[in-house]
Copies of this chain bind each other. A is one copy, B any other.
Amino acid sequence: MNRRGILIVVSGFSGSGKGTLMKELLGRYKETYALSISATTRSPREGEVDGREYFFKTREEFEKMIAKDELIEYARYVENYYGTPREYVEKQLEAGKDVILEIEIQGALKVKEAFPDTLLLFVTPPSAEELKKRLVGRGTETMEVIESRMKRAVEEAEGMDRYDYLIINDELEVCTEQMHTIIQSEHHRSFRNTGFMKEIKADLDRSLKGES
């Protein structure tokens, strides 16, 4: 079977518990996964370390990366750039690690276009009711905040169909294992094992012709 890593995009509703889930998955299976680190032009916040939370870049550096096609995808929010450096991802995939990008739908679809083998996972609470509960929070939010979250959730829901799998985040433990087995099962897809199939075919052909 192939052991090149799989490129995985994880998106999900705000409030889906995606962040905690990623931390749990990466903590449990250190050897299997690598989390892609984004580059950004925004200033580091207190406690953030270059190369850990983000690669911090000047605007000039970032635009040079764009020009040299060194980013798999990038976007601009307000006045800052955010993007996924290609080199780190490629290296990890080559080393057989499954690389996880935590980005939103627009970025996800750009990545899928550039790399059709990308696996798109969408994390969601187990029901609409539970989702709403999480959006509303503990009742300490203003109606404005809740409404803006709700609108965002509607937009996020719009894109769900474009993802390959839904990851239902009910119980952290169960969900982490589910996500892990979903990704590992993907390694067995035929289209990820064209080398193996080619070899079997070539070898059978040779045998039939009495060449080996």
Contact = CB atoms under 8 A, between A and B. Distances in A.
Contacts of A124: 200
Interface string A181-208: 1101110111101101101111111011
B201 A157 contact: yes
Contacts of A208: 147, 150-151, 154
A176 to B, nearest CB: 14
A160 B204 contact: no
B163 A190 contact: yes
Nearest to A189: B165
Interface of A: 1, 122, 124, 127-129, 131-132, 147, 150-151, 153-154, 157-158, 160-168, 178, 181-182, 184-186, 188-191, 193-194, 196-197, 199-205, 207-208
27 contacts: A127-B200, A128-B200, A128-B204, A129-B203, A131-B204, A132-B207, A147-B208, A151-B208, A153-B204, A154-B201, A157-B200, A157-B201, A160-B190, A160-B197, A161-B190, A161-B194, A162-B190, A166-B189, A166-B190, A166-B197, A168-B188, A178-B185, A181-B181, A181-B185, A182-B185, A182-B188, A185-B186
